[in-house]
Amino acid sequence: MDPSFSAARAVLLAAAILGCAAASAQTYPVKPIRAVVPFGAGGPADIYARYLGQQMQGVLGQPFVVENRPGAGSIIGTDIVAKSPADGYTLLVMSNTHTVNESLIAKKPFALMKDFVPVAPINYSDLLLVVHPSLPVKSVKELVALAKAKPRGLNYASSGSGTPYHMAGELFKALAGVDIVHIPHKGSGEARTSTMSGQTELMLDAITTMAPIARAGKVRALGTSGLKRSTVMPEVPTIAEAGVKGYETTIWLGIMAPTGTPKPVIDRLNAEITKVVNRADVRKIWGEQGAQPLTMSVAEFERYLHADIAKWAKVVKISGARADQ
């Protein structure tokens, strides 16, 4: 066969493949998109996935169906997406639970940065440290003093091992030098109920969901987890300001897709999600709830994920946290 003919055919084949990819991006989507939330209903991931889905449905012209598949600290739902076709019609709604789990849980049926590709971040929010009103403390310093006086005598609730609420608690323990028992629950709603009822004494929860509960007097707010005071509850000091030096953490959300999803589809989704998140009305609504929009290119989000994996690997090591705690 003429070498020049083979080379020409290869060029034509490559052009055809690129043409198909471009056409795929132009026509995408042609059917409903499924966004799997590997957490229970009522938490930040569920709430903001549904809000984003409503906006994306109007933009893309196809239903954006949110499906809750909780269990095993996000492993069950995440694995469902990992095993789904890489065509842009099944997406993962993820959080820093996923970056934590890369070091916290050694045996998983997937590897985050191998089996998924970044699409776009959504938002982040501070956590609110709250205690049941029956606990005789009214500040972070008083809580630390009580915990030191009663080693393993206090319990803190989380939505499960590896979740931001779990790791926020472990970071608090490590920096405050206290020994508080972790009580994992099946979801943030169950953990919230446990804290409000007094079954567990305290919890670090997303300010977007816990602030209204604290205002209603069902729990007592002691501190926020950010570097500066929250605009939602400016009267509450940061945990670092209140005495636990160096304390800072957030909960953030994002979207990933199975590895192999066409790049033009990923780029389209990133562009449309970024447009939604940047809208003034969205920023206003989220800001009033305590959530701050996050926008990044696909490459920037990938770097962000690698950095967060490294960050939480250090926290897991320092705190001695385990998936079975």
Percent of the chain past pLDDT 70, that is, above it, reads: 91
The reply to whether domains 31-124+251-319 and 126-224 share a CATH topology is yes
Enter the tokens of residue 189: 């709603």
- C-alpha distances in angstroms, 278 versus 48, 59, 77, 122, 126? 14, 14, 28, 10, 19
DSSP helix/strand/coil, 184: strand
Q: CATH topology for 31-124+251-319?
A: D-Maltodextrin-Binding Protein; domain 2 (3.40.190)
Distance of alpha carbon 60 from alpha carbon 276, whole angstroms = 11
- The enclosing H or E element of 81 equals helix 75-82
Distance of alpha carbon 323 from alpha carbon 109, whole angstroms = 15
Q: Span 126-224: which CATH code? A: 3.40.190.10
pLDDT exceeds cutoff 50 at 193: yes
Domain spans in the chain, listed from the N-terminal domain onward: 31-124+251-319, 126-224
Give tens-digit pLDDT for 37-68: 999 898 899 999 999 999 999 999 999 999 99
Give tens-digit pLDDT for 272-298: 999 999 999 999 999 999 999 999 999
Distance of alpha carbon 37 from alpha carbon 40, whole angstroms = 8
Which pTM does this prediction carry? Answer: 0.86
